[in-house]
Amino acid sequence: MSTSNFEQRRRLLIAGASAAGLALPAVTALAQAPATRTLRIGNQKGVLSFLKARGTLEKRLAPLGVNVTWTEFNAGPVQLEALNVGSIDFGDVGEAPPIFAQAAGAPLVYVAATAPLVASEAIVVPKASAIQKVGDLKGKKIAYNKGSNVQFFLAKLLEKNGLAYNDVQHVHLAPADARAAFVQGSVDAWVIWDPFLAAAQKNADARLLADATGVVNNRGYYFSSRSFADKNADILRIAVEEVAAIDKWFGTDRAAAAAEYAAILGLDRSVAELTLQRRPIGTVPVTKAILAEQQVIADTFFELKLLPRKISILEAALAGVA
Protein backbone atom coordinates (compact mmCIF):
# COMPACT_ATOMS: atom_id res chain seq x y z
CA MET A 1 0.00 0.00 0.00
CA SER A 2 1.39 3.43 -0.92
CA THR A 3 1.99 6.07 1.75
CA SER A 4 -0.83 8.27 0.39
CA ASN A 5 -3.33 5.37 0.38
CA PHE A 6 -2.32 4.39 3.93
CA GLU A 7 -2.83 7.97 5.16
CA GLN A 8 -6.22 8.21 3.44
CA ARG A 9 -7.36 4.92 5.01
CA ARG A 10 -6.14 6.06 8.47
CA ARG A 11 -8.17 9.27 8.21
CA LEU A 12 -11.30 7.36 7.18
CA LEU A 13 -10.92 5.02 10.17
CA ILE A 14 -10.56 7.96 12.56
CA ALA A 15 -13.53 9.77 11.03
CA GLY A 16 -15.70 6.64 11.24
CA ALA A 17 -14.78 6.00 14.84
CA SER A 18 -15.44 9.62 15.78
CA ALA A 19 -18.87 9.50 14.17
CA ALA A 20 -19.66 6.42 16.22
CA GLY A 21 -18.49 8.14 19.42
CA LEU A 22 -15.65 5.69 19.98
CA ALA A 23 -12.44 6.49 21.89
CA LEU A 24 -9.18 5.97 20.07
CA PRO A 25 -6.55 5.06 22.68
CA ALA A 26 -4.47 3.09 20.19
CA VAL A 27 -4.31 5.98 17.73
CA THR A 28 -3.43 8.38 20.56
CA ALA A 29 -0.66 6.05 21.70
CA LEU A 30 0.75 5.95 18.19
CA ALA A 31 0.97 9.74 18.22
CA GLN A 32 3.10 9.74 21.38
CA ALA A 33 6.87 9.40 21.28
CA PRO A 34 8.02 5.87 22.25
CA ALA A 35 10.08 5.46 25.42
CA THR A 36 13.75 5.91 24.59
CA ARG A 37 15.19 5.58 28.10
CA THR A 38 14.39 3.50 31.18
CA LEU A 39 14.82 4.29 34.88
CA ARG A 40 15.04 1.02 36.82
CA ILE A 41 14.32 1.67 40.50
CA GLY A 42 15.22 -0.68 43.33
CA ASN A 43 13.41 0.29 46.53
CA GLN A 44 12.94 -0.71 50.13
CA LYS A 45 9.74 -0.17 52.09
CA GLY A 46 9.64 3.61 52.56
CA VAL A 47 9.40 6.86 50.63
CA LEU A 48 9.98 5.21 47.26
CA SER A 49 7.03 2.91 47.93
CA PHE A 50 4.82 6.03 47.95
CA LEU A 51 6.38 7.22 44.72
CA LYS A 52 5.59 3.89 43.08
CA ALA A 53 2.00 3.82 44.38
CA ARG A 54 1.22 7.37 43.30
CA GLY A 55 2.68 7.15 39.82
CA THR A 56 3.73 10.80 39.82
CA LEU A 57 7.27 10.02 38.70
CA GLU A 58 5.99 8.15 35.64
CA LYS A 59 3.78 11.12 34.73
CA ARG A 60 6.66 13.57 34.96
CA LEU A 61 9.06 11.40 32.99
CA ALA A 62 6.63 10.35 30.24
CA PRO A 63 7.08 13.55 28.19
CA LEU A 64 10.82 12.83 28.16
CA GLY A 65 10.21 9.36 26.72
CA VAL A 66 11.33 7.65 29.93
CA ASN A 67 9.92 4.31 31.09
CA VAL A 68 10.06 3.39 34.82
CA THR A 69 10.37 -0.11 36.31
CA TRP A 70 10.36 -1.14 39.99
CA THR A 71 11.93 -3.94 42.05
CA GLU A 72 11.50 -4.17 45.84
CA PHE A 73 14.32 -5.35 48.12
CA ASN A 74 14.31 -6.12 51.84
CA ALA A 75 17.64 -4.41 52.62
CA GLY A 76 20.34 -2.17 51.18
CA PRO A 77 23.14 -4.69 50.50
CA VAL A 78 21.07 -6.64 47.98
CA GLN A 79 19.97 -3.40 46.30
CA LEU A 80 23.58 -2.42 45.73
CA GLU A 81 24.44 -5.89 44.49
CA ALA A 82 21.75 -5.29 41.87
CA LEU A 83 23.33 -1.94 41.00
CA ASN A 84 26.75 -3.55 40.72
CA VAL A 85 25.55 -6.11 38.18
CA GLY A 86 23.65 -3.46 36.21
CA SER A 87 20.10 -4.45 37.16
CA ILE A 88 18.93 -1.12 38.66
CA ASP A 89 19.75 2.58 38.21
CA PHE A 90 18.36 4.28 41.32
CA GLY A 91 17.44 3.35 44.87
CA ASP A 92 17.32 4.22 48.56
CA VAL A 93 19.70 2.87 51.16
CA GLY A 94 21.18 3.42 54.61
CA GLU A 95 24.69 4.55 55.48
CA ALA A 96 26.67 1.32 55.44
CA PRO A 97 25.63 -0.59 52.28
CA PRO A 98 27.11 1.93 49.80
CA ILE A 99 30.40 1.81 51.69
CA PHE A 100 30.68 -1.97 51.40
CA ALA A 101 29.54 -1.75 47.78
CA GLN A 102 32.17 0.86 46.92
CA ALA A 103 34.86 -1.24 48.57
CA ALA A 104 33.73 -4.15 46.38
CA GLY A 105 34.08 -2.03 43.25
CA ALA A 106 30.47 -1.03 42.62
CA PRO A 107 30.29 2.07 40.37
CA LEU A 108 27.87 3.96 42.64
CA VAL A 109 27.37 7.68 43.19
CA TYR A 110 25.46 9.47 45.95
CA VAL A 111 22.53 11.43 44.50
CA ALA A 112 20.71 12.83 47.57
CA ALA A 113 20.43 12.33 51.34
CA THR A 114 17.85 12.46 54.10
CA ALA A 115 17.98 14.41 57.33
CA PRO A 116 19.54 12.38 60.20
CA LEU A 117 17.14 9.59 61.24
CA VAL A 118 18.47 9.03 64.75
CA ALA A 119 15.24 7.65 66.23
CA SER A 120 14.53 5.37 63.28
CA GLU A 121 17.07 2.67 64.16
CA ALA A 122 17.55 1.04 67.54
CA ILE A 123 18.53 -2.06 69.45
CA VAL A 124 15.61 -3.86 71.07
CA VAL A 125 15.31 -6.68 73.60
CA PRO A 126 12.30 -8.75 74.71
CA LYS A 127 10.14 -6.91 77.25
CA ALA A 128 10.89 -9.51 79.92
CA SER A 129 14.63 -9.54 79.26
CA ALA A 130 17.03 -9.00 82.14
CA ILE A 131 19.08 -6.73 79.86
CA GLN A 132 18.49 -3.19 81.12
CA LYS A 133 21.46 -1.27 79.71
CA VAL A 134 23.88 -1.55 76.80
CA GLY A 135 26.65 -2.82 79.08
CA ASP A 136 24.50 -5.89 79.81
CA LEU A 137 24.92 -6.99 76.18
CA LYS A 138 28.41 -8.38 76.81
CA GLY A 139 28.52 -11.99 75.64
CA LYS A 140 24.96 -11.82 74.26
CA LYS A 141 23.70 -12.82 70.82
CA ILE A 142 22.73 -9.78 68.76
CA ALA A 143 20.95 -10.16 65.42
CA TYR A 144 21.24 -7.64 62.59
CA ASN A 145 21.52 -7.41 58.83
CA LYS A 146 25.19 -7.60 57.91
CA GLY A 147 26.40 -4.64 55.84
CA SER A 148 23.45 -2.42 56.76
CA ASN A 149 23.43 0.91 58.60
CA VAL A 150 22.67 -0.85 61.89
CA GLN A 151 26.08 -2.53 61.83
CA PHE A 152 27.83 0.84 62.19
CA PHE A 153 25.31 1.91 64.82
CA LEU A 154 26.02 -1.24 66.84
CA ALA A 155 29.79 -0.74 66.60
CA LYS A 156 29.59 2.86 67.85
CA LEU A 157 26.98 2.04 70.51
CA LEU A 158 29.20 -0.67 71.99
CA GLU A 159 32.20 1.65 71.89
CA LYS A 160 30.29 4.45 73.60
CA ASN A 161 29.33 2.09 76.40
CA GLY A 162 32.79 0.67 77.01
CA LEU A 163 32.42 -2.57 75.06
CA ALA A 164 34.60 -3.85 72.25
CA TYR A 165 33.03 -4.86 68.95
CA ASN A 166 33.76 -8.55 69.64
CA ASP A 167 32.43 -8.44 73.21
CA VAL A 168 29.08 -9.58 71.77
CA GLN A 169 28.09 -12.47 69.52
CA HIS A 170 27.19 -11.18 66.04
CA VAL A 171 24.32 -13.05 64.37
CA HIS A 172 23.87 -11.96 60.76
CA LEU A 173 20.24 -12.28 59.67
CA ALA A 174 17.98 -10.47 57.20
CA PRO A 175 15.08 -8.55 58.84
CA ALA A 176 12.43 -11.29 58.45
CA ASP A 177 14.74 -14.00 59.77
CA ALA A 178 15.99 -11.76 62.57
CA ARG A 179 12.44 -11.06 63.69
CA ALA A 180 11.69 -14.79 63.78
CA ALA A 181 14.83 -15.44 65.83
CA PHE A 182 13.96 -12.58 68.17
CA VAL A 183 10.40 -13.79 68.74
CA GLN A 184 11.56 -17.38 69.27
CA GLY A 185 14.21 -16.31 71.77
CA SER A 186 17.13 -17.56 69.66
CA VAL A 187 18.90 -14.20 70.05
CA ASP A 188 19.10 -11.80 72.98
CA ALA A 189 18.75 -8.54 71.09
CA TRP A 190 17.99 -7.22 67.62
CA VAL A 191 19.34 -4.09 65.89
CA ILE A 192 16.84 -2.89 63.28
CA TRP A 193 15.33 0.11 61.49
CA ASP A 194 11.83 1.38 60.76
CA PRO A 195 9.25 0.23 59.88
CA PHE A 196 10.53 -3.16 61.11
CA LEU A 197 11.51 -1.47 64.39
CA ALA A 198 8.06 0.00 64.94
CA ALA A 199 6.43 -3.33 64.08
CA ALA A 200 8.63 -5.10 66.63
CA GLN A 201 7.69 -2.59 69.31
CA LYS A 202 3.98 -2.80 68.55
CA ASN A 203 3.56 -6.47 67.70
CA ALA A 204 6.56 -8.49 68.94
CA ASP A 205 6.88 -7.45 72.61
CA ALA A 206 10.12 -5.59 71.90
CA ARG A 207 11.52 -3.07 74.38
CA LEU A 208 13.74 -0.30 73.07
CA LEU A 209 17.16 -0.47 74.73
CA ALA A 210 18.83 2.38 72.84
CA ASP A 211 18.30 4.28 69.60
CA ALA A 212 20.91 6.17 67.57
CA THR A 213 20.45 9.50 69.35
CA GLY A 214 23.88 10.81 70.31
CA VAL A 215 25.57 7.83 68.69
CA VAL A 216 25.31 8.10 64.88
CA ASN A 217 23.41 10.28 62.40
CA ASN A 218 21.80 7.43 60.48
CA ARG A 219 21.11 9.24 57.23
CA GLY A 220 19.39 7.60 54.32
CA TYR A 221 20.81 7.99 50.81
CA TYR A 222 19.56 7.88 47.24
CA PHE A 223 22.09 6.42 44.82
CA SER A 224 22.72 5.72 41.17
CA SER A 225 25.51 4.33 39.02
CA ARG A 226 28.20 6.60 37.65
CA SER A 227 27.35 5.78 34.03
CA PHE A 228 23.61 6.36 34.48
CA ALA A 229 24.14 9.63 36.38
CA ASP A 230 26.53 10.97 33.74
CA LYS A 231 24.02 10.37 30.95
CA ASN A 232 20.71 11.02 32.75
CA ALA A 233 21.13 13.96 35.13
CA ASP A 234 17.68 15.26 34.11
CA ILE A 235 15.98 11.99 35.13
CA LEU A 236 17.72 11.88 38.51
CA ARG A 237 16.87 15.53 39.20
CA ILE A 238 13.17 14.84 38.63
CA ALA A 239 13.30 11.66 40.73
CA VAL A 240 14.83 13.53 43.68
CA GLU A 241 12.27 16.34 43.32
CA GLU A 242 9.44 13.80 43.53
CA VAL A 243 11.02 12.12 46.56
CA ALA A 244 11.39 15.50 48.28
CA ALA A 245 7.73 16.34 47.59
CA ILE A 246 6.55 13.17 49.32
CA ASP A 247 8.97 13.73 52.18
CA LYS A 248 7.57 17.22 52.65
CA TRP A 249 4.00 15.90 52.59
CA PHE A 250 4.83 13.54 55.45
CA GLY A 251 5.32 16.60 57.65
CA THR A 252 2.23 18.52 56.56
CA ASP A 253 -0.42 15.92 57.35
CA ARG A 254 0.86 13.15 59.62
CA ALA A 255 -2.55 11.51 60.05
CA ALA A 256 -3.21 11.20 56.32
CA ALA A 257 0.39 10.15 55.72
CA ALA A 258 0.12 7.39 58.33
CA ALA A 259 -3.09 6.08 56.76
CA GLU A 260 -1.52 6.00 53.31
CA TYR A 261 1.72 4.56 54.67
CA ALA A 262 -0.18 1.72 56.34
CA ALA A 263 -2.17 0.97 53.19
CA ILE A 264 0.78 1.04 50.80
CA LEU A 265 3.12 -1.03 52.96
CA GLY A 266 0.49 -3.35 54.43
CA LEU A 267 1.20 -2.27 58.00
CA ASP A 268 -0.94 -1.79 61.08
CA ARG A 269 -1.96 1.85 61.42
CA SER A 270 -0.18 2.07 64.80
CA VAL A 271 3.09 0.89 63.21
CA ALA A 272 2.82 3.49 60.46
CA GLU A 273 2.07 6.25 62.96
CA LEU A 274 5.07 5.37 65.12
CA THR A 275 7.36 5.17 62.09
CA LEU A 276 6.37 8.61 60.81
CA GLN A 277 6.20 10.17 64.27
CA ARG A 278 9.96 9.83 64.71
CA ARG A 279 10.97 10.50 61.10
CA PRO A 280 12.36 14.02 60.55
CA ILE A 281 11.48 15.73 57.29
CA GLY A 282 14.09 16.67 54.73
CA THR A 283 15.63 15.47 51.48
CA VAL A 284 18.90 17.33 50.97
CA PRO A 285 21.69 17.57 48.39
CA VAL A 286 24.78 15.52 49.07
CA THR A 287 27.62 17.80 50.20
CA LYS A 288 31.27 17.20 51.00
CA ALA A 289 30.36 17.59 54.69
CA ILE A 290 27.79 14.78 54.41
CA LEU A 291 30.27 12.62 52.52
CA ALA A 292 32.75 13.26 55.33
CA GLU A 293 30.26 11.54 57.66
CA GLN A 294 30.37 8.55 55.34
CA GLN A 295 34.16 8.61 55.38
CA VAL A 296 34.15 8.24 59.18
CA ILE A 297 31.95 5.15 58.82
CA ALA A 298 34.19 3.71 56.11
CA ASP A 299 37.31 4.28 58.22
CA THR A 300 35.64 2.63 61.22
CA PHE A 301 34.74 -0.46 59.21
CA PHE A 302 38.28 -0.67 57.85
CA GLU A 303 39.75 -0.45 61.37
CA LEU A 304 37.40 -3.26 62.44
CA LYS A 305 38.65 -5.30 59.47
CA LEU A 306 35.16 -5.38 57.99
CA LEU A 307 36.31 -3.73 54.74
CA PRO A 308 38.87 -5.38 52.45
CA ARG A 309 40.53 -2.06 51.66
CA LYS A 310 40.54 1.61 52.58
CA ILE A 311 38.30 3.73 50.36
CA SER A 312 37.77 7.41 49.57
CA ILE A 313 34.07 8.31 49.68
CA LEU A 314 34.69 11.36 47.48
CA GLU A 315 35.29 8.96 44.61
CA ALA A 316 31.54 8.25 44.76
CA ALA A 317 30.55 11.92 44.62
CA LEU A 318 28.69 13.47 41.70
CA ALA A 319 30.68 15.95 39.67
CA GLY A 320 30.63 19.43 41.16
CA VAL A 321 29.58 18.44 44.72
CA ALA A 322 30.14 21.37 47.07
Characterize 20-44 residue by residue with b for buried, 16 or more Cβ atoms within 10 angstroms of its Cβ, and e for exposed: eeeeeeeeeeeeeeeeebebbbbbb
Question: Which residues in the chain come in under a pLDDT of 70?
Answer: 1-35
What pTM does this model have? 0.81
> What pLDDT digit, counting tens, does each position of 7-33 carry?
444 343 333 333 333 333 333 333 455
Q: Are residues 231 and 83 in the same domain?
A: yes
Q: Kindly state whether residues 105 and 223 are assigned to the same domain.
A: yes
In contact, 106 and 83? CB cutoff 8 Å = yes
State the pLDDT at residue 261: 87
- For 146-160, what is each residue's pLDDT tens digit? 988 899 999 999 999
The reply to whether 42 and 184 lie within a common domain is no
Asked, for residue 150, whether it belongs to a domain, the answer is yes
Whether 175 and 75 have beta carbons less than 8 Å apart is answered as yes
107/238 same-domain check: yes
Determine the pLDDT at residue 34. Answer: 61
| Structural domain ending residue among the three candidates 211, 232, 250 | 211
Residue 258 lies in a domain: yes
Look at residues 184, 211, 238 and tell me which one is the last residue of a structural domain. Answer: 211
Tell me: do 135 and 105 sit in the same domain. Answer: no
Q: Which of 155, 179, 211 is the last residue of a domain?
A: 211
Residue 251 is part of a domain; what is its CATH number? Answer: 3.40.190.10
Domain that holds residue 265: 37-115+219-316
> Is residue 20 one of the residues assigned to a domain?
no
Please give the tally of structural domains in the chain: 2
| Amino acid at position 242, single letter | E
Question: pLDDT value at position 223?
Answer: 96
